[in-house]
Amino acid sequence: MATEIVVREGGLSKNRNDRGGITNFGVSLRYARGKGLVMDLNHDGVVDEKDILLVTPPRAIELFVEDFFTAPHFDKLPESVQEQMFDMAVNFGPGGAGIVLQRALNALGYGPLAEDGGVGPKTQTAATLADAADRRGLVNGVVAARIARFNAIAKSDPGQIEFLAGWIKRANSFKV
C-alpha cells in the first residue's frame, strides 16, 4: 500500500498554494518540521527545503507506515478501507482521515460516533459492522465523505481549488 501511495504522490512538488510547502514523494516541509530533527537529513541542524530534496521513496514509505497507518490504528480497520484511510492520512493527516471515516459511518447509520478523528475501539467496531453488512456501501460512503471534505477545503480556501480535480480523481479511484 505504501509504495502505491508514494507513486501517487509523485516526486518533487513546489507549489506556492500547497499548504504543506515543498513536498517530495508526499513528505511535505510542514510534516517534516513537525517530526523535528529526525528529518534533518543533511544534518545542518535545521529542517528545511534542503532536507525535503533528500527524501527518498524508501524513507517516505517508512515514515508513512508509522505515522499514517500504524499509529492512527488504520491497520485495525477492515481491509476494504485500509488503503483509502492510509491514502487520506497522507493527504490531510490521520485526524482528518479519521473524521472522514466517522462522518461516513454516521451517515451510514453506524453511529453516533464523535467526529474527533480518533480511530479507537468504537470507530473500529462501527467500521467492522458496516463492512460486514455492506462492504461496497462502506467503501463508497468513505469516498463520498472524502470528496465532501475536499469540497469544503476548496470552498474555505480558494487557493486550494487548483488541487480539487486531482483530489476528487484520487478519491474516486477507491470506488467499488
Residue-range definition of the domain harbouring residue 127: 78-172
User: pTM for the whole thing?
Assistant: 0.87
Q: Which of 69, 90, 115 is the last residue of a domain?
A: 69
**What is the pLDDT, as a whole number, of residue 48?**
96
**Same domain membership, residue 113 and residue 161:** yes
Overall domain count for the chain: 2
Q: pLDDT-based confidence at 16, cuts 50/70/90?
A: confident
Give burial (CB, 10 Å; 0-12/13-18/19+) of 140.
middle
**Same domain membership, residue 161 and residue 82:** yes
Q: pLDDT-based confidence at 92, cuts 50/70/90?
A: confident
**Same domain membership, residue 167 and residue 110:** yes
The pLDDT of residue 152 is above 90: yes
**Same domain membership, residue 138 and residue 100:** yes
> Cα–Cα distance between 134 and 107 in angstroms, integer?
14
pLDDT digits (tens, 9 = 90+) for 155-168: 999 988 989 999 99
**Same domain membership, residue 117 and residue 45:** no
Residue 163 has which C-alpha cell?
A: 488541487
**Same domain membership, residue 84 and residue 23:** no
Residue 32 has which C-alpha cell?
A: 517534516
**Same domain membership, residue 88 and residue 61:** no
**What is the pLDDT, as a whole number, of residue 59?**
95
Over range 109-136, report the average pLDDT. 97
Q: Which of 49, 69, 89 is the last residue of a domain?
A: 69
**Same domain membership, residue 45 and residue 99:** no
